[in-house]
Amino acid sequence: MSKAKVTELDIIFGANVRRYRLERNMTQEQLSEAAGFGVSHCSNIEAGRNSVTLETLKRIAGALKVTADALLTEENESPTEISAQNLAKLVRGMTPEGAKNAEDLIRVMLDKGMLK
């Protein structure tokens, strides 16, 4: 889908892919291998030169262990949005039982006024 006109969203997406990749100390080669495409495609995505399909978005998000919306949203998000994304990342690494326990714990803390 690289022949489509590049948009502002392509640039935001590419910058976010690069930022998350570097935060995880991954090379473009490692990300490309994990997501199942070539290094040159990865380079073009990060530079904002390529639009991606939903399938590619899903594979990149999975390889970076982030939500798709984290890759599509500008970096100047509110602290609440960033915290929610960080919680989502933590939960993704848990077992289903662990995720349910974490949810229950947060609900109890909210009910008791421990979190505002």
Domains of the chain: 8-72 (1.10.260.40), 79-111 (no CATH)
Rounded to whole angstroms, the Cα distance separating 49 from 3 reads 9
Query: What pLDDT does 114 receive?
Result: 83
Least confident among 17-21, 45-49, 79-83, 106-110: 79-83
How far, in whole angstroms, is CA 108 from its chain's centroid?
Answer: 28
pLDDT at 2 over 50: no
Query: What pLDDT does 22 receive?
Result: 93
- Say if residues 9 and 57 touch (Cβ distance below 8 Å): no
pLDDT at 83 over 80: no
Q: Once rounded to an integer, what is the mean pLDDT over residues 70-85?
A: 71
Query: What pLDDT does 1 receive?
Result: 45
